[in-house]
Amino acid sequence: MEIIDWKQMLSRSCRLIEKWKYALIILLAGLLLLATGGSSGKPADPEKQEQGTETASAETFSLSEFEARLKDCLSRIEGIGEVELMLTLDSEGREVYASDIRQSAAASYENTISTVSNGSYGEEPIRVTTTSPEFRGAVVICQGAEDDRVRLAVTEAVGALCDLGADKITVIKMGQ
């Protein structure tokens, strides 16, 4: 039977701990974070959770706000005068979220949106991609529309900001 030298074993353990102390600290911190999980036990906001993985991004894109900003931008074009603007959409932008699809024993599928902690004891869905709204056309009514340079500048500005071709943009002279 072998006799254990506790003093020598303790000395080796202390040297080993001293050598790997930083790695052990990081490991223990990681285990502590995993154990706490960052959850407060409160249920997530049901308005933020959606049934599907695609939702309309009405809260991120407002057509009226975009029109107001574009109208302000157009009003700075030399010679344009007063401006009225109308944009139409083919589709609103969409946000696509990461989801976890599980098949149960009864051959049914369960689809849940993957979430991540937002740092304030809540959860946010993981957004995979966001698509921009698609514009159908634009009508710009302005005082300076009789000038070809103004019409060209307006058409180019609206086309660049809305990703529309010149055939989808109409510039009309404003009546008195």
Whole-number average pLDDT of the chain: 78
What CATH code is assigned to 57-92+132-173?
A: 3.30.300.30
Q: Residue 71: its pLDDT value, please?
A: 92
- Range with the poorest average pLDDT among 10-24, 39-53, 85-99: 39-53
Give me the helix-helix angle, 148-162 and 63-74, nearest 10°: 150
Cα Rg, the chain, nearest whole Å: 31
- Range with the poorest average pLDDT among 24-28, 160-164, 169-173: 24-28
Residue 173 has pLDDT above 60, yes or no: yes
Mean pLDDT of 29-40: 72
Residue 98 has pLDDT above 60, yes or no: yes
Question: Whole-angstrom Cα distance, residue 167 to residue 155?
Answer: 9
The pair phi, psi for residue 124, each rounded to 5°, is -125, 145
| Residues 51-96: tens digit of each pLDDT | 444 444 445 678 888 899 999 999 999 999 999 999 998 877 777 7
The pair phi, psi for residue 40, each rounded to 5°, is -95, -5
DSSP per residue over 54-100, as a string?
Answer: EEE-TTT--HHHHHHHHHHHHTTSTT--SEEEEEEEEE--EEEE-EE
Q: Residue 150: its pLDDT value, please?
A: 93
Question: Whole-angstrom Cα distance, residue 168 to residue 87?
Answer: 10
Residue 22 has pLDDT above 70, yes or no: yes
Higher pLDDT, 106 or 145: 145
